[in-house]
């Protein structure tokens, strides 16, 4: 009996060690996956095509700033809800096909749509941040991950946001944003309808917060100096490319 108890205790200890090892391995894999997604979002940001104010006004003639912003939010919400619906539908299949790739596609797809929305909202409110394509992309990433508008009237905050230390903080901020959004971006067994509703709701909430900040510093169109055309990426990102780039 003592020998049996000793063996049982040894087995329990080994089981506990294996469980802890598995948890550590799973945690490490999860962190690696999130780190990969952060890198993908950062890589995608400079490739998101953004329409400048002149282009937007040509495409939506007769609309004022708030009406134009409403149209942009509605379009982005429809786009992210389509992404959510597609992943939700895949989750209803008996064996979800390559769900990690599906999930990565949804996260990066939603991020690209929302980054485009944020950049174009800054155009609509007359608050284009300074700098070239890459600098603006970094600032839009900060706006997206922090769910706040960019304070272009305070150059010191922009300079700080582009510094080396702040870039490391930005990466951490994006990581937190992805972790916070994961419950909304994992529609396992909830179906297309719920996946669509979740993404549409979150995009509208993000836009509302950013617009609240932008309205405080808004520059009316009639006093806005003429802006040069926006620099466009060499390889503009199309939403359909995201799945291909992830190997899906």
Residue by residue, pLDDT tens for the chain (248 residues) are 565 556 555 545 654 554 454 444 444 555 666 677 778 888 888 999 999 999 999 999 999 999 999 999 999 998 888 875 555 544 444 433 444 566 677 778 888 999 999 999 999 999 999 888 988 998 898 888 888 888 765 655 544 545 555 566 666 767 666 665 555 444 443 444 455 667 788 899 999 999 999 999 999 999 999 889 999 898 888 766 555 454 44
Q: Are 160 and 166 in contact (CB under 8 A)?
A: yes
Whole-number Cα distances in Å, 7 to 10, 16, 18, 156 = 5, 14, 16, 66
pTM for the full model?
0.74
Please give the biggest Cα pair distance in the chain: 91
Cα dist. 208→67, 84, 214 in Å?
14, 20, 10
């Amino acid at each position: 009996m003592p020998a049996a108890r000793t063996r049982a205790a040894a087995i329990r200890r080994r089981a506990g060690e294996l469980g802890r090892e598995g948890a550590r391995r799973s945690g490490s894999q999860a962190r690696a996956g999130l780190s990969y997604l952060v890198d993908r979002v950062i890589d995608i940001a400079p490739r998101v095509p953004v329409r400048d104010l002149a282009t937007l006004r040509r495409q939506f003639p007769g609309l004022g700033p708030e009406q134009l912003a409403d149209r942009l939010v509605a379009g982005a919400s429809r786009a992210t809800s389509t992404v959510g619906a597609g992943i939700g539908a895949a989750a209803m299949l008996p064996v979800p096909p390559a769900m990690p790739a599906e999930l990565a596609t949804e996260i990066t797809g939603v991020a690209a749509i929302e980054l485009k929305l944020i950049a174009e909202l800054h155009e609509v409110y007359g608050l284009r941040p300074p700098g070239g394509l890459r600098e603006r992309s970094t600032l839009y990433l900060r706006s997206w991950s922090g769910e706040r508008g960019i304070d272009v009237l305070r150059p010191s905050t922009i300079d700080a946001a582009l510094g080396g230390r702040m870039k490391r903080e930005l990466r951490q901020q994006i990581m937190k944003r992805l972790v916070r959004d994961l419950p909304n971006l994992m529609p396992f067994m909830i179906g297309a309808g719920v996946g669509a509703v979740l993404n549409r709701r979150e995009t509208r909430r993000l836009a509302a917060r950013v617009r609240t900040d932008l309205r405080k510093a808004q520059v009316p169109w009639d006093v806005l100096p003429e802006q040069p055309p926006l620099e466009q990426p060499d390889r503009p990102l199309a939403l359909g490319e995201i799945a291909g780039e992830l190997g899906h």
